[in-house]
Structure 1
């Protein structure tokens, strides 16, 4: 869960409100590594506010890092008084998308809290701070834990059988880790039969099924990105999205900022090793058949 703007009964140092004049607080995971069965995170915190720095030095408040993983249903909290430190977490506790939030929280009750850098509206006002109250927060950071990343573009697709007799000739679902391509039962049986004829037939099937699905997917991503950032966050942790994002980055593209006119060409290039690959496969099928006839 990402921290959102909300009202507090006392001034809170953060990047989205004007509670403070000059100070800032920023948290960041600057390095992520693996060591045996553990994930290691190097944390760097930057704080520019003398009053809060003094409270940390006297251990009345502390830096707090919260890891939240929807995939494993885990919420992990770590506190520290130093701005640079390392956190170790068992691999089994985190998977796929993880939201990381950075706070400064009160470790004890603080009476008559004031801050010289607070907005003039707070001048002369003293606040009662309770243990656990937020005194500062940073922008959230999203990380991705990929235990078994998909190796190629083709692996992000799954062809399924639509049992409804009124099902369309093809349908696309993006809600799971693979892009699901639904086709009528009769078509599904034929695809299974053709796949047995080897790699050349499979490449033709890729052009028939995967290509339109990928084009539709990339158009959907652009639509989501343009109208709703939170909608994009919901799919950004899925395996198919992460795989496409990395492949497109290598090609010099941002998955959420594609030119509509280029999506068809980009999709074709993602699926084929060369522009002639499907035609070469078709030639191989024809020539092999002619050879059998001879």
Structure 2
């Protein structure tokens, strides 16, 4: 959402106009990307006692508008607190995330005035309406450093194949230097190949690759000091993905939630995507 400088029938507090004097509204950003998740914390700094009073009485609120023009993704977050935190999946985002901050009214306001109005508005009052913007804060364009090559490298070292092994429906073989072999029993493989192509792609993905990766990371952690194991191509690819996202293999164990958390982060919350896919499919039936 690009904010343009334009005339308004009432005063707006912003950084490029002069409707207010001795007043300001700024936003301070803390943003990080980890795997496919974007984490943001935005702190607001407001200097205007009349607008502060509106927020205190819940007649106005801070609002963050997030948009990715390339994918038409839009979302908003609001609060009467001077800090807003949110998390987004970068799966549906590309290139640039445009973030804009505002203060908007939550109800109609009659005869609004401020001692910090520009002298041109001396003695003036304004009838304002719910949802109107009364302040525009600092914006930010967040560049999405999505290294798609990394995440594309993960499937490249995993091969899903049909197996006649009687150990169960799913097996994971990490003995190869180049590939992780995920084996599916014959009947399960046929279902995976048929349903996983289109209709239940996310669900099939979660059922097979999520548990497989959990097993792989467990083995990597257990063998992290084994030079032969560490030299394998698939080990180096996965370890590189972890390091690029500030995750250490030493810290990933089955003893706490780190193993499950990392696996879900790498695949962009596959459980949630699977249930949404199943829900969507059930609605069409």
TM-score, scaled to structure 1: 0.48
TM-score, scaled to structure 2: 0.50
